[in-house]
Structure formats: structure tokens, C-alpha cells
Amino acid sequence: MSDKKPKIGVVGAGHLGRHHIKHLSKHSDVEFVGVFDVNKESLKNICSEFSVDPIENLENLIDSCDGVHIVTPTNTHFDIAKKFLENKKDVFVEKPMTSTVDEALSLISLAKKHELIIQVGHIERFNPTINKLKKLVDNPHYIEIERLAPFQARGTEVPVVLDLMVHDIDLILEMVDSPLESIQASGAKMMSNTVDLAHAHIKFKNGVVANLKSSRIAQNYVRKIRTYQKNFYSITDLMIPQIELYGLEHHNIFSEKVRSQEVETNSGSKKLYYEKFVPEDKDALLEEINDFIHCMKTRSRPNVDGVSGARALEIALEIESKIFLNE
């Protein structure tokens, strides 16, 4: 492991890029080299806010960095990432990884050729609530995920499947160790020129079923995950955040705080156990950034590598295509 601080820059000074810059510019393990954005006004404002250097063009950023965070519109990801990889620079690219699977595979091949890091920004993998849930729930048979948001024009250049649902696609692929059997989907364009509301029904070959619902025309933000397995049921609210676990068995995951009550079932009276779990207070984006830095220094594989990003993208695009077929 190298003790040298990696030199990292950012491409993209927009809403999400701002958060990356905020963390990277003050990170003790990074030499932050600056920011590039084609929007000169946004670039000027962000550099003033965080007292960081503006970079005149991509070539200058390539020359001055060891790795880059690409936080730009999805349709630009491939061309920008390709330039950095061709110049033997490690790449962190926000989700969705690219616009097409072929583009994603091309970047993976390029990174492999030059022995480079490519990490995809599926931030929920670093969410402490979700990581706690994965420790509590080890064998779900049925999964429901709702990811809803009020409408805003920003981000509508991509469909809600690629904007919001792709997070949950990535999560279920990690939670369920089985190939896919089938995908059904429906959706609609309501407030933009791309799909704003989507439902997906995904079945795996081991029998697990996942129902995903994403919308950006909701009244309020909703981020809920429900899992079902034999004698156990969980409700996870990522907005609070908290996990509620119900069980007809006293599993060792329950603590001394567990509560119970008598309930009637088809096989007689049983105890229903209940406990609420509150996750650690951690910044998921900072944890994600720390993973990229660690991988740069140790030359190890990221938690969410290019292969994971491409797989989530492939399924998201299949869901999108099925929505269009049903229109």
C-alpha cells in the first residue's frame, strides 16, 4: 500500500459534483488538484465556494491527476471516462455508468488493459442502514422497494429507471445470489419526455421475487425496503433512518431490547417478536469516496466495480425497453 496521497480531480460542478468536491477538497488523504466544467459560471461559483482551483480543460486535468471523479450528465460519461483511462488514470464515474451496455463493457476492457481502477457511484452500497439490513436479513424470499421523489426538472434527461430505480436494481443483485429468470415492467411519461413512473417485477431462478417502484412525481420523498422470509418480515425506512424487524421466532439477531406479544396463527398461539434497529451515523458519500481512495492506494477492487455497474445498467435498460413495449 502506497503512503503517497493520490492526486484527484473532479469533472462536473453541478448539484451532485458539489458534494464530491466538498469532501475531496478537504480530505486529508487526497491531494485535490481542481475542477473542470464546461459551464464556466458553475465552475467559477464552485471554485469560489470551496477555494479550489479551476481547471481550464480536460487535458490539463488529465496531466495533473492520478484519478478523477466524473459527475456529469450520463451521456457524457463514456467519452470522458475513456479519455482518462486511455491516459492511465483511475476513474470514479457516477451512476448510471454509461448510456449503453456496450459503452460500459468498453470502459471495463480499457481499465483491465491498463490495470486501472474503475468504480461506479452506486452510493446505496455504502448506506449504513442498508448494510445493517443485509446483516439482519440473510435469506429474503420476496423484496419490495419504493423509491419516490417530488418532481424537479433536473435529471429528467434520463428515465426514472436510470435515475432512481438503478440504485435498487444494484441492491437486489447484491442481495440475491441467483441468475435472473424473468423481468416484467410498466411505466409512463407524465411530466417530462422520459419515463417518470416505473414498476418492475423481477424473478430470480432460485424463486426470489423483487418488486421495484420508482417515481419522480410523488408528493413526498419515500425510500422504503420491505423483505419477507420464513417467519421474518422487515421494514426499512431510509429517510428516518431505521429498520423494524418482526419475527415469529426468537432469532439471535434480536437483542435484549426485543419486545413480543401473543398472536393467533393457523397452528395456534405464538409470540410475535419486534425490534427497531437504528444504524450508525455515517456519510455514505464519504464512505464511497474513501473506498475509491483506498483502492487507488492499494490497487484493489472497488466495492462497486465496473462489472457491477454494467450489470445494473443492463437490467435497467431491459426494464426500460419493456416499458416502451407496453406503451
DSSP characters over 29-64: T-EEEEEE-S-HHHHHHHHHHHT--B-SSHHHHHHH
Q: Which residues contact 185 (CB under 8 A, 6 or more apart)?
A: 198, 199, 200, 201, 319, 320, 322, 323, 326
Residue type for 325, please?
Answer: L
Residue 43 has pLDDT above 70, yes or no: yes
30 against 253, higher pLDDT = 30
Strand partners, 200: 185, 212
- CA torsion 311→313→317→323, rounded to 10°? 100
The sheet with strand 180-188 has its strands ordered as: 180-188, 197-204, 209-215, 142-148, 222-229, 232-237, 242-247, 268-277, 259-265
* φ, ψ of residue 130 in degrees (nearest 5): -70, -40
The sheet with strand 118-121 has its strands ordered as: 31-36, 7-11, 67-70, 90-94, 118-121
Please give the pLDDT value at position 256. Answer: 81
d(CA 108, CA 123) in angstroms, rounded, equals 19
Residue type for 81, please?
Answer: A
Average pLDDT value for residue range 284-307? 98
pLDDT, the chain, mean: 94
Q: Which residues contact 171 (CB under 8 A, 6 or more apart)?
A: 124, 125, 130, 145, 225
Please give the pLDDT value at position 262. Answer: 86
Please give the pLDDT value at position 1. Answer: 63
SS3 content of the chain, % helix, strand, coil (to 5): 35, 30, 35
pLDDT digits (tens, 9 = 90+) for 118-175: 999 999 999 999 999 999 998 899 999 999 999 987 767 789 999 999 999 999 999 9
Please give the pLDDT value at position 310. Answer: 98
Residue 14 has pLDDT above 70, yes or no: yes
pLDDT digits (tens, 9 = 90+) for 59-102: 999 999 999 999 999 999 999 999 999 999 999 999 999 999 99
pLDDT digits (tens, 9 = 90+) for 222-277: 999 999 998 899 999 999 999 999 998 877 788 888 898 888 777 778 889 999 99
pLDDT digits (tens, 9 = 90+) for 50-70: 999 999 999 999 999 999 999
Residue 109 has pLDDT above 70, yes or no: yes
Say if residues 13 and 39 touch (Cβ distance below 8 Å).
yes
Average pLDDT value for residue range 305-325? 95
3-class DSSP assignment, residue 99? coil
Please give the pLDDT value at position 326. Answer: 63
Residue 110 has pLDDT above 70, yes or no: yes
Say if residues 70 and 83 touch (Cβ distance below 8 Å).
no
Question: Percent of the chain having pLDDT more than 70?
Answer: 98
pLDDT digits (tens, 9 = 90+) for 187-221: 999 888 889 999 999 999 999 999 999 999 999 99
Structural domains of the chain sorted by starting position, each given as residue range(s) with its CATH number in brackets: 7-121+284-304 (3.40.50.720)
Please give the pLDDT value at position 95. Answer: 96
